[in-house]
Structure 1
Amino acid sequence: MLKEYHKCDAIYRHILTKEDLKLYIEYFNRNKREWNKIDIVYIACHGWFHSISLEGENGNVDLQELADIAGDFFRDKIVHFSCCKTLANTSEVEHFKSVTGAKLVCGYKKSVDAMKSAIADTALLNELITSNKPGNIKNIAISKFRKTYKSLLNELDFCAI
């Protein structure tokens, strides 16, 4: 929807397992010219405390393991985790951001309703695509996005680091 509306580049991959994740990260790391056009990495899956849950895996991939797998895949990218609880531990998220070199990391700290998070995600992606200062999303006092969607973002326990 946003791709057509904003006429922006988007790449979609369905990732079921850790092996899929490694395969695509390796592919994009080998093809950086294509990949560098993309500023936002949107990860939508189930989540748990500072981890993501892939459909085809038993157990979770925590943020540290994801950072280890990724290498510099997230460097200078905005990374949004549309996953329950993945950002529950702020220090783990800050460490992930530091280790990966991500420009911005955002997502949810608690279990979220899928429809409400989809609404918030759409508004977030719209803001990130249209804003010339996406880092403002971290600042509740000046972010138009944070002010406009305040009650929804509070309910979802949205976090941006």
Structure 2
Amino acid sequence: MKKKEDKPAALDHALYEIEMLVHSLLALCRAGISPRDGSGWLEVFATHARNLNEFFAPKEFGGAYMKPSHFGAWNHSYVFDTDLARRASSQVSHLTYDRERPEEKTPWPFERHFSTLREPALIFLKAVRQCEPLMAYHANRARTDALLDVLPKIQFEGNAP
């Protein structure tokens, strides 16, 4: 079976993206995180936020890119976040001249990016949870249920959950 046809295994990867978005957000918001650890978790957050931004966007990025509609009916009107895509690509994921100098560092709007991605993630998770063949693969059911439980519980006070 071609990888593109193996939807349960593909869902495993989509779940991983959402899990890492949550995990990195919670790590970034821990008290006393060192600057080096903060930079590492920022890269994790930015990478997975960018991937999910592309995943939920109506725009097609190429035949190998997954979209929610590959797993079932999808009609959520997500708006592609160009600022997230630009900043994640030029300042974190790629070695470019667009990276901010230490004295120019501007905080990442974690709350805004997470909040923008949470709603489509929950809609997607609720939809795939109804598809038994997708849930039967590996630990997809348990992971989907865990994400459906934790995502709504993340609340922000100031800049931290």
Range class of TM-score, shorter chain: under 0.3
Larger proportion of strand? 1
What TM-score do you get using the length of structure 2 for normalisation? 0.25
TM-score normalised over the length of structure 1 = 0.25
Structure ID, larger Rg: 2
Which has more helix, going by share of residues? Answer: 2
Larger RCO (CA within 8 A; separation ≥ 6): 2
